[in-house]
Structure 1
Amino acid sequence: MPNDHNHDHSSGDHHHAPKVRSENEKVVLVAFLLTFSFMLAELIGGLLSGSLALIADAGHMLTDAGALALAWAGFRFGRRKSDDRRTFGYMRFEILAGFVNAVTLILLVGWIAWEAVMRLIAPSPVLAGPMLVIAVLGLVVNIGVYWMLRRGDRDHVNIRGAMVHVLGDLLGSVAAIVAAITIWLTGWTPIDPILSVLLSVIVLRSAWMLLKASMNVLMEGAPNNIVVSDMQQTLVADVPGVEDVQHVHVWSITSGQPVATMEVRLSDSADPAATTAAIKHCLSTTFGIAHATVEIDWEHREDDCVLIPD
């Protein structure tokens, strides 16, 4: 029976995607409502005061609200169970949302840089008083939202993406306060676009890291903490009965959910069931992989070829 294989999965029901913590969904939803509500207030304040800086910051907060809405949708869809077409469930939707967040941030930074150049070329009048009041209120709201997001699962790509958005707007509120005070005291309006560009550089770095992380998952790359060659060497060295490990594939279904498949060649004296259990234990404890499919190379064990049940 050389064509029989052992497809051994880790313990647990692998027919259902891991549950997303409901706390994440609630935190992101409340953060979205706060951000969207203050965005409307800031937009109205900007229109009434004629402050382009506040209108631009309202646009920034609108982007934040969109990112939080995407994150909430990711968690909402992520709780759906798997079906015949999506055997791992809908967890990957969260990574798609994180990718959109990163791309949006990069585009936003480009827009801010363009606006900053335009304002340096043709400065616009700014009412420092209303700008300062609204910027302080925005800082309070952003601190509250950021604190709420920190209570969620910060290892989640969507929580990280939302935090990057809110952190960018929090720093934007600080810059607006500094700019408003400077304009109030000196009348020097170029301080506003200059600070916006400096803060955008910080946001761009975080956005780039988020983009790389989400792209790695979408491209089914190995998690950053796992080196396939090291995994092969560890299994051969630490698991008795394992002579060779080939055809290794490691990827992530979503943030923090690595999976692996591999083919192993066993020694003649090794017990297939016991050795497979030892491989699973090593993958779980050493590499954090709780879901693995292990196929045994039976071509070198023709006399012992049996089908090992899950």
Structure 2
Amino acid sequence: MADHDHTARTPLINRAFKIGILLNISFVIIEGGFGLATNALSLLADAGHNLSDVLGLLVSWVAVILSQRERTDRLTYGYKKSSILAALFNAVFLLVAIGGIVVEAIQRLQNPQPVLENDVMIVAAIGIVINGFTAWLFMKDQHKDLNVKGAFIHMAGDAAISVGVVFAALIMKFTNWFWLDPVFSLVIALVILISTWGLLKSATELSLDAVPQSIDLQKVKSFIQTQDTVTSVHDLHIWAMSTTENALTAHVIRTTLDHNNDFIRRLDHELTHNFDLNHTTIQVELGKISDESTDHCI
């Protein structure tokens, strides 16, 4: 049975965004300051990435707030789609940040400079705690909401990156391989790219009203066709209204129109409780089994 209790968790998600934004703004200031003082590009690169995460968290939080606003005569779905746009914005913004990190790292590779390894390790260790805790705040809901998943990926990735920064600084401390700083910055960029690509793909697909990954269209179609008196289904469409709510429309051909209201009510109940669907619109048509050939659009 699908879990559709999104409204009840909104206060918890709002609190997670508030705490995450406050912690990460504080960390950006600390990390950026130490990066400048210690001449560590890996810290500066990670601070820039964390700054983009703060902006991403803000955009995601605003989208959560907007998605709860009432619909209007012009915006009949309200602002639900804003959460999809927020996820898409975060993915694109991260790709831009990657480009900046790569350019700076290549320039620094041509002229490696020493860093204060102890300070770098201390700041990165703080990052592990802050980013790890923030990721934990979003862990439970990231499987249900692509917008929240984007925030989770950023925070979990940052925590992993901070672990790598500690090891890189430790190696530089004993080897004086200062070229490792810009090299690791490139590794950071690669990690961000890998974690962002899936988010970008999913957000783009939902923006194009693709069937959400949590739903198998053919299973939904087969389920409808197995209902009593149903001979076929056509014009079946499933799309995301937001990162947490999905809708379905379908034309269902029955052998009779008897008890039609009861049939629609029951089918709506079954669909929303057996699949990750929140809103269904079903049009019933009278026909025979031969009419299945009209199934021209799914």
The one of 123, 130, 133 aligned to 1:141: 130
The one of 115, 138, 142 aligned to 1:126: 115
Q: 2:127 and 2:200 mapped to 1: Cα distance?
A: 27
Q: 1:185 and 1:26 mapped to 2: Cα distance?
A: 43
Matched residue type, 2:173: W
Q: 2:242 and 2:287 mapped to 1: Cα distance?
A: 35
The one of 285, 289, 296 aligned to 1:297: 285
Paired residue for 1:286?
Answer: 274
Partner SS, residue 238 of structure 2 = strand
Report the alpha carbon displacement of residue 249 of structure 1 after superposing the two structures with TM. 1.2
Contact 1:54 1:131 in 2 (8 A): yes
Greater gyration radius? 1
1:199-214 alignment, distance < 5 Å: 199-214=188-203
Contact 1:20 1:78 in 2 (8 A): no
Classify 1:50/1:191 alpha carbon distance in 2 versus 1 (closer, same or farther; 3 Å): closer
Contact 2:60 2:83 in 1 (8 A): yes
Structure 1 runs not aligned, ≥5 long: 1-11, 301-310
> Cα deviations across residues 237-285 of structure 1 (Å, max 9, x unaligned)?
2x11112211111101112311111111211374312322232233223
Q: 1:154 and 1:160 mapped to 2: Cα distance?
A: 7
Report the alpha carbon displacement of residue 97 of structure 1 after superposing the two structures with TM. 0.8
Q: 2:129 and 2:189 mapped to 1: Cα distance?
A: 20
Q: 2:78 and 2:162 mapped to 1: Cα distance?
A: 39
> Cα deviations across residues 11-43 of structure 1 (Å, max 9, x unaligned)?
x9xxxx967611111101110111011101222
Q: 1:216 and 1:55 mapped to 2: Cα distance?
A: 33
Report the alpha carbon displacement of residue 190 of structure 1 after superposing the two structures with TM. 1.8
Contact 1:20 1:75 in 2 (8 A): no
Q: 1:79 and 1:275 mapped to 2: Cα distance?
A: 31
Report the alpha carbon displacement of residue 219 of structure 1 after superposing the two structures with TM. 0.7
- Normalised to the residue count of structure 1, the TM-score between the two structures is 0.83
Paired residue for 2:223?
Answer: 234
Paired residue for 1:37?
Answer: 26
Partner SS, residue 268 of structure 2 = helix
Matched residue type, 2:41: L
Classify 1:215/1:273 alpha carbon distance in 2 versus 1 (closer, same or farther; 3 Å): same
1:250-261 alignment, distance < 5 Å: 250-261=238-249
User: What RMSD, in angstroms, separates the aligned Cα atoms of the two structures?
Assistant: 2.3
Identity among equivalent positions (%) equals 28
1:1-310 alignment, distance < 5 Å: 21-237=10-226, 239-268=227-256, 270-297=258-285
Matched residue type, 1:288: D
Matched residue type, 1:164: I
Q: 1:145 and 1:225 mapped to 2: Cα distance?
A: 25
Q: 2:220 and 2:47 mapped to 1: Cα distance?
A: 48
Q: 1:152 and 1:267 mapped to 2: Cα distance?
A: 43
Report the alpha carbon displacement of residue 94 of structure 1 after superposing the two structures with TM. 1.1
Report the alpha carbon displacement of residue 48 of structure 1 after superposing the two structures with TM. 2.7
Classify 1:153/1:60 alpha carbon distance in 2 versus 1 (closer, same or farther; 3 Å): closer
- Normalised to the residue count of structure 2, the TM-score between the two structures is 0.87
Contact 2:41 2:105 in 1 (8 A): no
Report the alpha carbon displacement of residue 201 of structure 1 after superposing the two structures with TM. 2.8
> Cα deviations across residues 81-127 of structure 1 (Å, max 9, x unaligned)?
11111122212111111111111222223333333322222212212
Report the alpha carbon displacement of residue 55 of structure 1 after superposing the two structures with TM. 2.2
Matched residue type, 1:240: D
Number of residue pairs aligned between Structure 1 and Structure 2: 284
Contact 1:53 1:126 in 2 (8 A): no
Contact 1:266 1:272 in 2 (8 A): no
Partner SS, residue 294 of structure 1 = strand
Classify 1:225/1:163 alpha carbon distance in 2 versus 1 (closer, same or farther; 3 Å): closer
Partner SS, residue 266 of structure 2 = helix
